[in-house]
Chains A and B, each alone.
Chain A
Amino acid sequence: MATKTELLMDVGKVREDFPILKRTVHGKPLVYLDSAATSQKPRQVIDAVSDFFSRYNANVHRAIYELGEEATREYEGAREKVAGFIHARSPNEVAFTKSTTESLNAIAYGWGLKGKLREGDEIVSTVMEHHSNHVPWFFVQDLKGVKLKWVGMTDDGLLKMEDYDTMITKRTKVVTVTQCSNVLGTINPVQEIAKRAHEAGAICVVDAAQSVPHMPVDVQKIGCDFLAFSGHKMLGPTGIGVLYGTEERLNEMEPLMGGGEMVREVHLGSAKWNDIPFKFEGGTPNMAGAIGLGVAVDYLDGIGMDRVRRHEKELTKYALEALSDVKGFHGFGLDDVERRGGVISFTLGDVHPHDIASILDVEGIAIRSGHHCAQPLMERLNVPATARASFYVYNTPEEVDRLAAGLRKVLDVFA
C-alpha cells in the first residue's frame, strides 16, 4: 500500500465551498476526478454570477446609469485580477474570449492568417497538443500555404527538445506549445521554448489551459507572446476564456469578430478598430462569466497557487503509488511529479477505457475515457484511448483510494 500523505492544505475546508461535492451519484458520494475537462465551482463563484444578474445586470461600457457603471467596474475589475494573476504588464494585455479554443483561433486567424504569415513561412508545434492548438493552425496551413512541423516526444512523455534545434529555422514564424499536457500531465519548458523561438525571430504561443488553473504562471517570466486559457477549468464559469498577448503583438493582430464595442468609428464600408484589448471583444461580452472568473482568481489567490501546485503534486505522487498496486494498471507519462501536473492517463489490462469509466461511474467516480481531444498524441502512444483521472484543490487521498478500489471492482467484473 502507498503511504498516506500529509496534506499541507485544509482540503476539508475547501470542499465545504463546493456545493456539488455534497451530492451522491448512483447512491455513492461523488468522487470527481475530471477537473482537466472542467473544474467544479465554489459557492463564491456561483454567488458572484447570480449576484450580477440579481443586482447589477446591465451592458458594460455603454450605459450612462448606475447599473451600467457597476457592471463595467466589476467587469474591468475582473480583467485587472486576471492580469495580475498571470503577471501581465497591464490589463490591456488581457482580452476576454469564450475559451482557450476561441483564444487560439483568434491568434491563428488574427496574427497568422490575416496578419503576419506568408506562404513559405513555418510553424513549429508539438505532437502533444490538444486539438484546439492543432486545428486552427491547419486552417492557416490550408489557406496560406504555411508549413507545419511537430516536435516529437520520448516514450515517457517528454518533448524532444533537440527537435527544436533542427525544426526552428529562419522561416519559422510561430512556435506553439502546450505548457501542460492534458493527457500526460507533462509540464513543458515553455520559458526555454520561448527563448529559442525569439532567437530565430519567431513568436511563441502557449496553450495554458492546463497550467494556469494548477500552478503559478508568470507570462513575463515565460516571455511568451501569446497565452490562452479557459475560466471553466479554474473554478470559473463556462463560456469565459482569456487571450493574453503582449501589447506589441496585440497591436499587430487583426480582430476575429467584427461588431459593436470593437470599433472606434464606422462608416458605410469601413471602420477603425478600437484600442486593445477591446478590439478583440466584439459584441456584448460574457459579463457574468468574466466577473465569475475574477472571483475564481480571488479564490485561487486565497489558497495560493504555490499551495495548489504542491497539493496536486502530493496527490499525484500518492495516486501513482496507490494505483500501481492495482493489477494491470499501466500509467502513462513521467514518474517525476516535479515535471508533471495532476493528470494521470492509464489503461487497465485489456479492459477498454470506456468500460472502466462506466463501471467507475456506478461507484460514483467520475473519470474520463477516450482520446482527450489529442488524437495525434494517442497515435504516438499507439493506443486508441486511455482512461484519465485528474485532480484539483478539492480532491483527497481518500478519493484516490476509492479510485483504486473502483479499479479493483472493474477487474472483478472482467475476471
Chain B
Amino acid sequence: MSVLVYINSSTGIHKSANEAVTYAKKLGGSVTVITNGGCDAATLASLGKYGADKVLVDRSVNSNDDQQLTRMIATAADSVGATTVVFSHDLTAKAVAPRLSVRMKAGLISGAIDLPSGDGTTKVNVFSGKAFGAVKVNTSKKIISLLPNSIQPEATGSDCAVEDFNGNAGSTNVKVITTKKPEGEIPLPEAELVVSAGRGLKGPENWGIVEDLAKALGAATACSRPVADIGWRPHHEHVGQTGVAIRPNLYIAAGISGAIQHLAGVNGSKVIVVINTDPEAPFFKAADYGVVGDAFEVLPRLTEAVKKFKG
C-alpha cells in the first residue's frame, strides 16, 4: 500500500504535520509527503523521523489556491500510486480534501480521531463533539482528514529524502491581495493547553489575567460566544458548537457557565478545569477539576502557582 500525506508547510512544520505523518505510517505501507512553497529542505526532511519515506515539494505553488493544490496532490497521488491520502483537518484540508475527493473518486473521512478499526471503519467526531460516528468508505481509494491532537507524533526514524516535484498545478483563479498574521499566537485548534474565559470576566480590559495564565502555561486563549459577539475578543477565539471545536489536553474555563452549545466544542478536551463563582454552574458537571471562586482572585493565584512550579 502507498499512502500520500499532504502537509501545509507555509509556516513551517507544525505538530499536526508530524501527527499526520505518524498516522500514515501506522496505516502501513510506504509514506510519501507532498507539500509546496518555500519551506527549506532540511526542515522538510525532518518528516522522515515520523515515518515519511520521502518528501515531494512543488516550489512553483505558493498560494492557498484550492484548485492548484488539488491538482498538485492528485498528480502526486497518481505518481506514487497512492490509495490513501491523509490530511491534517485544518483550514487547508477543509478547502482541498473535498475537491480532491471528487477528483480522485475517493471517499472522504473528515475529522478522524483514530486509526481505522478492525472492521474497516474510522471513528470521527459528529454532533460537534457530542458523539462519535464510525465511517466506512465505499470507494477503492480514500482520503482521511485527521483532527489535530488525536494521536501522538512518534519520532522513530531519521531524516528522509526531499525531491522537487512538478505537480502540474496549473494557473490560479484566486488573487491574494494581502495576508494578515496575528503575532506570536498558538493556533487554537492545535494547542495542547487552552485558557478560556467568558462573560464572567466582565469586560475586555480584564483579559490581562487570562493572558498572563496562558503565557505562564504556554497555552492558547479562547472565549465563549457572547464574548466574541460583543467584540471583547476576536471571532477566531470563539469555541463551541458554532465556533471552533477543540480537543486540547487541558482546557481551563474561567467565568463560563458551560451552556450545552459551549460544551459541544470543548468536551473532547482530555482534562477540563472550571473556575466559577457559582457552585451550580453547569460546567462543573463536565469538569475534572473545579474551583468555586472569583476568577479575578483565582486566575492570578493560579498563574503564580504555575510560575512557581515551572521554576
Q: A and B: partners?
A: no
Q: Measuring CB to CB, which residues of chain A are less than 8 angstroms from any residue of chain B?
A: none
